[in-house]
Amino acid sequence: MTALDQASVLRRKTRAARGDQDPHETASVRALRLALARAADTLFGLALTVATVEQRRIEAEEIETALGTEGLFMLLDGPGGARGALRFDPAFMSAVIEVQTIGQVLPGQVRARPATRTDAAMLAPLVDAVLSDHDAELARGESGRRPCGLRFADRAENARALALLLPRAQFDFFRVTGDLDHGARTGCLDLLLPREQEAAALHGGRADRARAAAATGPDLAAVALNAPVALDVVLARLRLPLHAVMAFASDTRLDLPQEGLGQAQLVGAGGQVIAKGRLGQREGLRAFRLSGPLLEPSPTQPGKGPPPQDGTARAAD
């Protein structure tokens, strides 16, 4: 069989397969192709050609296996409690980062490494743009499929952690393979979208609860528990003369006691000390580890802490 005959057979098989597909699924694949190529070009000037799109339906128990073990795992969140997921493989992730940092995609193999929050922050605009454009394409089409409204929410450590954050429901699984920067690299993107009936049922349940809550009035406990609370971490308290404080500049350095990190205080409104602990880092963010139980408010001054002192040195929020 010649190469031309083989191509003809492949085309016939492709047409037959497309004829059996759900029009909703075909619309989603087409929208995803267009959205991904447009978003990459618009945001980063990155030429991206979608080579293949695989779509299938999976159960919640299959998520961990379907997503694999390497790459950047992202949780997606949407209206009505809808949730989805996305994974960039190491090749796709590094290509998007390289085009933002050095202006091009370096050819060659990519060494897998653990993804970080910085990686997620650099790829989040692409994710949101793709999802937004995908929804817009579905809304313009005549497939009848409703947009999901999902957007980037947070980074997950791995596929197992991501699976635990998703509802136990059916998902549409898309695996997109694309050529990046005119073939300098080939990368893979996995996308999990909630099945339309699952999302509609979830949205309907939330709507019913919202109507019931509106009829009975707001629940005081729920309002109190959802109220925002601002907390500060105090490393040390320094006494300085006024002229020294007035001379502070952007490069002024304050000498703090070495034990400050291990004896930090968690302080609420009014200066009330709530807990004591140790200040450190986790995944590139400041973290506070409690070293004991929460402290009770002072009986002599309920709701109020010690008066503020000059030169209090506090960690940034």
The pLDDT value given to residue 20: 47
Task: Please report the pLDDT score of residue 224 as a whole number.
Answer: 66
Q: What is the pLDDT of residue 148?
A: 82
- Blockwise average pLDDT, block size 10, the chain, 317 residues: 47 46 68 95 95 93 94 94 95 96 90 92 96 90 73 94 92 95 94 72 48 54 69 84 88 81 79 82 77 66 45 43
Q: What was the pLDDT predicted at 133?
A: 94
pLDDT of residue 8: 45
pLDDT of residue 298: 58
DSSP code string of 217-238? ---HHHHHHTS----EEEEEE-
- The per-residue pLDDT for 154 is 94
pLDDT given for residue 18 in this prediction: 46
pLDDT of residue 38: 96
**Is the C-alpha dihedral spanning 19, 21, 23, 29 positive or negative?**
negative
Provide the pLDDT for residue 218: 55
Domains of the chain: 19-215 (3.40.1550.10), 228-247+256-314 (2.30.330.10)
**End-to-end CA separation in angstroms for the chain:** 68
